[in-house]
């Protein structure tokens, strides 16, 4: 992306985030020490000038003092971007900073999710080779420190072509209820090259035959109120080394299915995370902001004797061996909120609350969203790239 395109990209995302307030508390904001801000700015600008890098990323807005000095002193031909995870600080400080800086106003990227910030800066072409990081000493958050580690210690690689004509053996696994809508469509979207499709039905299997291009294997087990145990039973059905698991309201695009064999061939890989896009309102808009996107999901697993799911709800994977990668342009397409009615969605949340032992999940009427085109452009910027993640 060019700097102007990146600025517009960040602005569109941030404006939609700031248009909503999803329960983030008001933040205490201590005034920055002016002299400390000038010293921090001078250090950052010296490092930035010596490196000859284009982007200067300020982690943490604070009260705007450091950002204001950086914007004033940054030489022409360089670009300043502010990253912030506290939306309340942005609402209180950003308008005045923009007014003070005028034409020299920096770009802003804000969200409570470090994963969204990570995706967006990577899509803009930013990496440790062309960016200088400046931490705001008065307002650097734990989230931004985690983001910094993710940014500096991850690396981007292109997906290698899978050698040979036969795809690596892969099982697709799923936990399904016989009354799920669009089951026929779910099975029809699975490609024929899969070694097997392993289905664990909640209770009993449906009475109708379901067409699937790949070999289909069934088993039945009541879900009860423990998703981790059900996932382990699902995993035990798979007879290949690699398992990819999906839910009934999720799909992969034909392009993602085509790229999966290359992903499986990545050396040293133990599992892969996928961004999940939940459609909002219709199939032309995607939820975002406040952790709603990219909603990264660990769904591709290399099996071993110690691998298992833990937890009754929002189950986590334990015992994974090997590295983790992020399949940046291979999204899981999540249709739950546009293909199910509100009653069905509420029943699902009630089940989650039962497993959690308390009411953690509530169904809202609407959520922040951006057009599907925005995310298609993101895919283009990250096309064919695999992000190798540090141990997290």
Using the Cα atoms of residue 387, residue 377, residue 287 and residue 147 in order, give the sign of their dihedral.
positive
The pLDDT of 362-384, averaged and rounded, is: 88
Within this chain, do residues 238 and 366 fall inside the same structural domain, yes or no?
yes
Residue 214 forms part of a structural domain: yes
104 and 209 together in one domain: no
- For 387, the token pair is 């992000």
Q: Quick check: 360 pLDDT over 60?
A: no
Closest residue by Cα to residue 123 from 85, 145, 104, 151: 151
Angle at CA of residue 244, ends 205 and 269, nearest 5°: 160
262 and 149 within one domain: no
Reported confidence tier of residue 359, pLDDT bands at 50, 70, 90: low
Give the mean pLDDT of 278-294: 96
Asked if pLDDT for residue 274 goes beyond 70, the answer is yes
Asked if residue 97 and residue 179 are part of one domain, the reply reads no
pLDDT surpasses 60 at 163: no
Q: How far is CA 313 from CA 189, 354, 361, in A?
A: 27, 9, 11
Last residue of a domain, one of 127, 153, 179: 153
Does residue 113 surpass a pLDDT of 60? Answer: yes
Split at pLDDT 50, 70, 90, the class of 164 is low
User: Could you tell me which residues are beta bridge partners of residue 171?
Assistant: 196, 243
Inform me whether the pLDDT recorded for 207 exceeds 60: yes
What integer is the mean pLDDT of 352-376?
73
Domain end call among 107, 123, 153 = 153
Please report, for residues 42, 85, 230, 265, 279, the alpha-carbon distance to residue 54 in angstroms, rounded to integers and kept in the order given.
Answer: 17, 23, 50, 34, 35
Does 162 fall in a domain?
no
Between 358 and 243, whose confidence is greater?
243
Residue 75: inside a domain: yes
Same domain, 132 and 181: no
Q: What is the pLDDT of residue 361?
A: 46
Q: Is 344 exposed, middle or buried (0-12, 13-18, 19+ CB in 10 A)?
A: middle
Among 83-87, 130-134, 207-211, 331-335, name the one with the lowest average pLDDT. 207-211
Q: Which has more pLDDT, 163 or 213? A: 213
Domain assignment present for residue 334? The answer is yes
Q: Are 290 and 20 in contact (CB under 8 A)?
A: yes
337 and 265: one domain? yes
Task: Give the model's pLDDT for residue 30.
Answer: 65
Whether 257 is in a domain gets the answer yes
| Statement to judge: residues 308 and 188 lie in one domain | yes
Is residue 160 situated within a structural domain?
no
Q: 220, 205 in Cβ contact below 8 A?
A: yes
* pLDDT score of 341 more than 90: no
User: Is the pLDDT reported for residue 190 higher than 80?
Assistant: yes
Count CB atoms within 10 A of the CB of residue 45.
Answer: 19
pLDDT tens-place string over residues 237-254: 999 999 999 999 999 999
Indicate whether 65 and 121 sit together in one domain.
Answer: yes
Domain co-membership, 236 together with 174? yes
Residue 184 and residue 140 share a domain:
no
Mean pLDDT within 186-214: 92
Q: What is the mean pLDDT of residues 105-110?
A: 96
Mean pLDDT over 66-92 rounds to 94
- For residue 34, give the H/E element and its range: helix 34-51
Q: Is 90 exceeded by the pLDDT of residue 316? A: yes
CATH code, 104: 3.40.50.1100
The number of folded domains in the chain is: 2
Residue 366 belongs to some domain of the structure: yes
Residues 117 and 225 in one domain: no
- Judged by DSSP in three states, 39 sits in helix
Which DSSP string corresponds to 281-309?
SSTTEEE-STT-SS--EEEEEE--TT-EE
Contact at 8 Å (CB) between 174 and 246? yes
Q: What is the pLDDT of residues 7-65, one digit of tens each?
A: 999 999 999 999 998 766 556 666 667 788 899 999 999 999 999 999 999 999 999 99
Closest CA to 324 of 376, 389, 377, 372: 389
- Six token digits for residue 3: 């700097």
Question: Mean pLDDT in the chain?
Answer: 90
The whole domain housing 14 covers: 3-153
Does some domain include residue 161?
no
Residue with tokens 């602005």: 11
* Better pLDDT: 362 or 315: 315
CB atoms within 10 A of CB 203: 11
Is 151 a residue whose pLDDT tops 60?
A: yes
Average pLDDT of span 287-300: 96
From 119, 153, 187, give the residue that closes a domain: 153
Rounded to an integer, what distance in angstroms lies between the CA atom of residue 246 and that of residue 298?
10
Which residue, among 61, 106, 62, 116, has the nearest Cα to 83 in the 3D structure? 61
Average pLDDT over residues 158-184: 83
Please check whether residues 9 and 145 belong to one and the same domain. yes
Q: Starting from the edge strand earliest in sequence, which strands make up the sheet with 276-278, in order?
A: 250-251, 332-334, 276-278
342 — pLDDT class (breaks 50, 70, 90): low
């Amino acid at each position: 992306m060019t700097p102007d395109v990146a600025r517009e990209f960040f602005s569109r995302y941030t404006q939609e985030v700031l248009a909503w307030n999803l329960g983030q508390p008001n933040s205490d904001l201590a005034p920055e020490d002016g002299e400390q801000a000038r010293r921090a700015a001078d250090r950052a600008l010296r490092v930035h000038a010596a490196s000859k890098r284009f982007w200067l990323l300020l982690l943490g807005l604070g009260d705007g003092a450091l950002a204001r000095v950086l914007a004033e002193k940054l030489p022409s031909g360089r670009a300043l971007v502010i990253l912030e995870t506290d939306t309340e600080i942005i609402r209180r400080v950003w308008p005045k900073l923009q007014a003070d800086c005028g034409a020299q106003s920096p770009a802003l990227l804000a969200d409570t999710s470090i994963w969204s910030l990570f995706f967006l800066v990577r899509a803009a072409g930013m990496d440790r080779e062309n960016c200088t990081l400046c931490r705001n000493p008065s307002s650097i958050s734990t989230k931004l420190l985690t983001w910094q580690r993710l940014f500096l210690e991850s690396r981007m690689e292109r997906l290698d072509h899978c050698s040979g004509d036969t795809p690596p053996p892969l099982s697709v696994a799923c936990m399904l209820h016989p009354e799920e809508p669009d089951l026929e469509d779910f099975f029809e979207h699975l490609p024929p090259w899969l070694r097997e499709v392993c289905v664990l039905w909640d209770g009993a299997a449906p009475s109708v035959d379901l067409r699937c291009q790949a070999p289909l294997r069934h088993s039945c087990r009541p879900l009860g109120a423990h998703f981790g145990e059900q996932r382990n039973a699902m995993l035990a059905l798979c007879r290949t080394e690699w398992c990819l698991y999906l839910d009934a309201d999720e799909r992969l695009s034909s392009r993602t299915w085509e790229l999966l064999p290359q992903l499986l061939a990545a050396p040293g890989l133990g599992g892969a995370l996928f961004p999940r896009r939940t459609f909002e309102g219709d199939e032309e808009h995607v939820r975002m902001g406040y952790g709603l996107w990219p909603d990264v999901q660990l769904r591709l697993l290399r099996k071993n004797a110690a691998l298992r799911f833990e937890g009754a709800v929002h189950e986590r994977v334990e015992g994974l061996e090997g590295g983790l990668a992020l399949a940046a342009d291979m999204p899981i397409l999540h249709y739950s909120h546009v293909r199910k009615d509100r009653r069905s969605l509420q029943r699902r949340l009630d089940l989650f609350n039962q497993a959690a032992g308390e009411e953690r999940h509530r169904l809202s009427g609407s959520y922040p969203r951006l057009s599907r085109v925005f995310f298609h452009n993101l895919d283009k910027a990250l096309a064919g790239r695999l992000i190798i993640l540090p141990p997290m």
